[in-house]
Amino acid sequence: MKKLNMKKKNEVVLNKKPRWKLLHQYYNYTGFYKFVGKSLKKAILPVILFLGALFAINEYVININSILVTVTETYSAAGILAVFLASESIFLGLVPPELFIAWAGKSAMPVTYLSLLALASYLGGIISYWMGKAITKIPAVHEAMESKMAKHIKNTEKWGGFLIVVGALLPIPFSITSVAAGIINYKFRYYLMFGLLRFIRFYGYALVIFKIV
């Protein structure tokens, strides 16, 4: 009888664990932290190389600042934003956002255009989400995408919102995460809420790297 009571007491203590501790245990056990660490290692090096190449070219080859100024004077802001929106949705983040953030920095209204870029990226994620939903309705495309994105879909099923948060904040393809969220039918209202963190990433990059904000 005493053993039974002790067992019940232990169960009560376990059940009283804070939610954040239970979540931490779950994400640790399922390998979420390792996944984020590996993804960052893979993503940070290309970003550093890209930025390093930009600065080196600007310093020793051709003045990129003047090119960006020329681009802002030659092409309409609407056209550039449309290209970025397509990149962040249909082309699954093909063009690095840093290039567009640098463009915003040389525009007449840097903070305004930076905000529009962040909005375009957010909308691009939403389009990608609905692309994922649409894919599930076309069996042949669904099978092909599932085989190519199997790992990402599995991770999204396991970690859901946290993976969307990571995709929004860190240099991990946000568009691909959004497609996977659509494929697994992740709740749209939660996707919209977590996706808003995309704005923080753009303002953070602009502040730390390009000193725009």
Three-state secondary structure of 185-210: CCCHHHHHHHHCHHHHHHHHHHHHCC
The better pLDDT of the pair 41, 114 is held by: 114
Give mean pLDDT, residues 128-142: 86
Q: How far is CA 204 from the centre of its chain?
A: 13
- pLDDT at 69 (0 to 100): 67
Does 2 have pLDDT greater than 60? no
pTM for this one? 0.74
- Confidence band of 99 (pLDDT split at 50, 70, 90): confident
Assess if residue 17 is contained within a domain.
no
Does 44 have pLDDT greater than 60? yes
Does 84 have pLDDT greater than 70? yes
Rounded to whole angstroms, the Cα distance separating 206 from 211 reads 6
Does 15 have pLDDT greater than 70? no
Assess if residue 24 is contained within a domain.
no
Give mean pLDDT, residues 199-212: 82
| Torsion 174-175-176-177 (CA) sign | positive
- pLDDT at 12 (0 to 100): 46
Assess if residue 25 is contained within a domain.
no
On whether the CB atoms of residues 180 and 156 are closer than 8 A, the answer is: yes
Rounded to whole angstroms, the Cα distance separating 54 from 181 reads 33
Does 200 have pLDDT greater than 70? yes
Rounded to whole angstroms, the Cα distance separating 47 from 76 reads 27
Give mean pLDDT, residues 123-131: 95
- pLDDT at 203 (0 to 100): 92
Assess if residue 144 is contained within a domain.
yes
- pLDDT at 47 (0 to 100): 67
* DSSP secondary structure of the chain: -HHHHHHHHHHHHHHTS-HHHHHHHHHHHTTHHHHHHHHHHHHHHHHHHHHHHHHHHHHHT--HHHHHHHHHHHS-HHHHHHHHHHHTTTTSS-S-HHHHHHHHHTSSSHHHHHHHHHHHHHHHHHHHHHHHHHHTTSHHHHHHHHHHSHHHHHHHHHHTHHHHHHHHHSSS-HHHHHHHHHHTT--HHHHHHHHTHHHHHHHHHHHHTS---
Assess if residue 50 is contained within a domain.
yes
Assess if residue 10 is contained within a domain.
no
Please state, in angstroms and as integers, the Cα–Cα distance from residue 54 to each residue in 51, 60, 63, 84, 99, following that order. Answer: 5, 10, 10, 19, 9
Assess if residue 64 is contained within a domain.
yes
Does 4 have pLDDT greater than 50? no
Total domains in the chain come to 1
Assess if residue 13 is contained within a domain.
no
